Amino acid sequence: MPEIFGYVLIALVIIGLVKGVRIVPQGEEWVVERLGKFAGILRPGLTVINPVFTKVSYKVTTKDIILEIPEQEVITRDNAVILANAIAFIKVSNIERAVYGIENFREAMRNMVQTNLRSIIGGMDLNHALTSRDRIKAELKNAIADEAMDWGLTVKSVEIQDIKPSQNMQHAMEQQASAERERVAVVTRAEGEKQSLILNAEARLEAARKDAEAQMVAAKASAESIKFIAEAVKENNTSATFLLGDRYITALQKISASDNAKIVIMPGDLVGAVKSLVSGK
């Protein structure tokens, strides 16, 4: 009988050692409870506990935790619908709070990030929301940091994975952009036509000015020529008679060469006619 009792005692000791020996892996910490009450935390390594009154209730990772925040629709201040999702990096800094302060800290953090993300983007206009990732990220981290600390968590970083307009909003923006490009094209064409008209008008004005200047120069030259001729023929009409006769003959040749000229009447005394023009008779 004593031998049986000894064997039973040895068996119980072996079972107790097997049940009581715990090896905690690196990167984890275990929460143990004694008679249903928090008793302590097992650090990485070999630990022996009382398997009768003590049990491991929770196994918590001490590594950084990656929380994927699913995509959600958010309405901006100007009633535009955009799609946004994020990713949060958190770490358990107080295991007791993380285990007993909240039922499921992962789900709680995920919901809190979603709620604050909607609130922050909802206070922005569409264009501002699409171009202010850094501001949204900073405000989101500050908004959840205090609450996470109460749960024994530390927010390492929050990143905005994607933020974009919804399908309907993208279509509306494409139409708006197309209309804006068309408006710019019309304005550009109108400006080009306006500049072309201005340049043509300036060219015509410059041409008319040049023609007027040429006519003025020609008139001055003609006046100087007439003055010179008048001075030359004061005493002798022979030169004037020759010059006028030459021009008179040239004019008659042009008239006779014209297709419309059918009959050309020439004076019989050509020299007399020229002398009459010179003498004024």
Find out whether 65 and 106 touch, Cβ atoms under 8 Å. yes
DSSP H or E segment with residue 246: helix 238-257
Where does residue 90 rank: exposed (0-12), middle (13-18), buried (19+ CB within 10 A)? buried
Asked if pLDDT for residue 281 goes beyond 50, the answer is no
Domain residue spans of the chain: 2-61, 65-165, 168-232, 233-281
> Which pLDDT belongs to residue 216?
82
User: pLDDT digit string (tens) for 22-54?
Assistant: 888 898 889 998 888 888 888 888 888 888 788
> Which pLDDT belongs to residue 270?
54
Asked if pLDDT for residue 268 goes beyond 60, the answer is no
Distance CA 162, CA 92 (A): 26
3 state SS of 240: helix
> Which pLDDT belongs to residue 87?
92
Per-residue confidence band for 155, with pLDDT thresholds at 50, 70 and 90: very high
Find out whether 139 and 86 touch, Cβ atoms under 8 Å. no
Residue, of 175 and 267, whose pLDDT is higher: 175
User: For the structural domain made of 65-165, what CATH number should be given?
Assistant: 3.30.479.30
User: pLDDT digit string (tens) for 158-215?
Assistant: 998 888 887 776 666 666 667 777 778 788 888 888 888 888 888 888 888 888 887 7
Residue, of 230 and 14, whose pLDDT is higher: 14
Distance CA 67, CA 53 (A): 35
Residue, of 251 and 51, whose pLDDT is higher: 51
> Which pLDDT belongs to residue 79?
85
Per-residue confidence band for 226, with pLDDT thresholds at 50, 70 and 90: low
> Which pLDDT belongs to residue 7?
63
Find out whether 77 and 125 touch, Cβ atoms under 8 Å. yes
DSSP H or E segment with residue 229: helix 167-232
DSSP class of 234: S
> How many beta carbons lie within 10 A of that of residue 85, not counting itself?
17
Q: Which of 89, 95, 88, 90 is closest to 24 using CA atoms?
A: 95
Find out whether 95 and 72 touch, Cβ atoms under 8 Å. no
> Which pLDDT belongs to residue 217?
77
User: pLDDT digit string (tens) for 79-133?
Assistant: 888 889 999 999 999 998 899 888 889 999 999 999 999 999 988 888 888 888 8
> Which pLDDT belongs to residue 81?
86
Distance CA 72, CA 34 (A): 43
* N- to C-terminal Cα separation, the chain: 180
Cα 103–Cα 106–Cα 108 angle in degrees, nearest 5? 60
Q: What is the pTM of this model?
A: 0.56
3 state SS of 63: coil
Strand boundaries in 9-152, DSSP class E: 21-24, 28-34, 37-42, 45-48, 54-61, 65-75, 81-92
User: What mean pLDDT do residues 260-264 have?
Assistant: 56
Residue 160, C-beta contacts closer than 8 angstroms, at least 6 positions apart: 84, 85, 86, 133, 136, 137, 140
Q: Which residues sit opposite 92 in a β-bridge?
A: 153
Asked if pLDDT for residue 262 goes beyond 60, the answer is no
82 φ, ψ (degrees, to nearest 5): -125, 160
